[in-house]
Amino acid sequence: MKDEYKVVYQGSECEIAEKKSRFIASIWPATSEEEADNFIEKIKKKHWNASHNCYAYTLGENHELTRCSDDGEPSGTAGKPMLDVLLGEDIHDVVAVVTRYFGGTLLGTGGLIRAYQSAVKKGLTQAIIIHKILGNKLLIKTNYNEIGSLQYIASQMELNILSTDYSDVVDTVLLVPDDKLAAFTKRWTNVTNGREQIIDQGRVYFAAVDKDVIVSEL
């Protein structure tokens, strides 16, 4: 498993023009081939009268599955250049469709490649991209006197607190990246003299989006 990788959290749609041809880029997250294919079909139905609906997608932590299509454009001028952008940016689980409305002027091989790549690049800049980090979901049980120390350590180490439940004890769920696990364990053990147990709740991928934290169980 990768320690960290980028995915699309929120898609986008944008448009560029090249010699009167319109190129509309639609970017969307997809975690399966079915999701990617469904999005492609959705865009094709939306732009049923377009000259071309070219696409590219890459799925998996290590880009295990990639697909692309020129959809009638000269071979190698659309789908593969689009896929090259996604792979070059190292973005995973993403599908890109570029819709072209022909403007009457031929762009040539180089012009087509540049236009399709430019459309995808612009689409990615307008999408919300997040970094999914591999880490550990930990449950820490504390008393009311020690919760402040735990929150202080979490703040200092820039750890995400997923939840805090106050009852007869305080149950706090922390998300700790692998590279901070040993340091956190040592600090917390020193603070509590080993009194408070750290309960491992499993490995997860997590990402911060604004003030929210998204967790993906493995």
CATH 3.30.70.240 domain range(s) in the chain: 134-217
CATH 3.30.230.30 domain range(s) in the chain: 4-126
* 2-58 tens-digit pLDDT: 899 999 999 999 999 999 999 999 999 999 999 999 999 999 999 999 999 999 999
Mean pLDDT of the chain: 95
Would you tell me which CATH number, out of the four given (3.90.800.10, 3.30.70.240, 3.40.50.300, 2.40.50.140), belongs to the domain 134-217?
3.30.70.240
pTM of the predicted model over 0.85: yes
In terms of phi and psi (left: phi > 0; alpha: psi -120 to 50; beta: otherwise), the region of 158 is left
* 127-169 tens-digit pLDDT: 999 999 999 999 999 989 899 999 999 999 999 999 999 999 9
Domain 4-126 has CATH 3.20.20.150: no
